Amino acid sequence: MFAIYEKCIFCKKQLPHPDDRKGEGEHIIPMNIKGFWRSYDICRECMEYFKDNVDNLSVKNVHIINAINSLFPEDLNKIYPNFKYNAKDKFTDENLEMYRRGNKMKMKFSKKEKHLNLSDEDIKHLGFSEIKKILKDKNFDDTTLEEELEKLHNDYLKLKDNEIAQSEKLGISMRKGLAHDIAIDKNSFKEASPLIAKIVVFFINYILSDEVILNVDAYIENFQSLINHARFGDKIEKFTINYSPLFKENHYEKFHRAQIEISDEVYIV
Does residue 7 touch Zn ion according to CB under 5 A?
Answer: no
- Quote the least distance from Cβ 260 to Zn ion, whole Å: 22
Residue 9: which of 226, 194, 263, 238 has the closest Cα?
226
Determine contact, residues 89/176, Cβ cutoff 8 Å.
no
Closer Cβ to Zn ion, 13 or 180, answer by number: 13
Stretch that binds Zn ion, among 4-12, 118-126, 181-189, 241-249 (CB under 5 A): 4-12
- Quote the least distance from Cβ 228 to Zn ion, whole Å: 13
Does residue 28 touch Zn ion according to CB under 5 A?
Answer: no
Stretch that binds Zn ion, among 10-18, 30-38, 54-62, 91-99 (CB under 5 A): 10-18
Does residue 40 touch Zn ion according to CB under 5 A?
Answer: no
Does residue 8 touch Zn ion according to CB under 5 A?
Answer: yes
Does residue 201 touch Zn ion according to CB under 5 A?
Answer: no
Stretch that binds Zn ion, among 5-13, 118-126, 230-238, 245-253 (CB under 5 A): 5-13
Q: What is the 3-state secondary structure of the chain?
A: CECCCCECCCCCCECCCHHHCCCCCEECCCHHHCCCCEECCCCHHHHHHHHHHCHHHHHHCHHHHHHHHHHCHHHHHHHHHHCEEEEEECCCCCEEEEEEECCEEEECCEECCCCEECCHHHHHHHHHHHHHHHCHHHCCCHHHHHHHHHHHHHHHHCCCCCCEEEECCCCEEEECCCEEEEEECHHHCCCCHHHHHHHHHHHHHHHCCHHHHHCHHHHEECHHHHHHHHHHCCCCCCCEECCCCCCCCCCCCHHHCECCCCCCCCCCC
- Quote the least distance from Cβ 248 to Zn ion, whole Å: 31
Q: Which of 33, 43, 54, 107 binds Zn ion (CB under 5 A)?
A: 43
- In angstroms, what CA-CA distances link 102 with 74, 111, 211? 11, 24, 48
Stretch that binds Zn ion, among 13-21, 59-67, 172-180, 185-193 (CB under 5 A): 13-21
- Quote the least distance from Cβ 15 to Zn ion, whole Å: 8
Q: Which of 1, 4, 11, 157 binds Zn ion (CB under 5 A)?
A: 11
Q: Using CB under 5 A as the criterion, what x/- string covers residues 45-84 for binding Zn ion?
A: -x--------------------------------------
Stretch that binds Zn ion, among 7-15, 32-40, 143-151, 249-257 (CB under 5 A): 7-15
- Quote the least distance from Cβ 44 to Zn ion, whole Å: 8
Q: Quick one: angle between helices 223-232 and 193-207, nearest 10?
A: 130
- Quote the least distance from Cβ 17 to Zn ion, whole Å: 16
Query: Binding residues for Zn ion, per CB under 5 A?
Result: 8, 10-11, 13, 43, 46
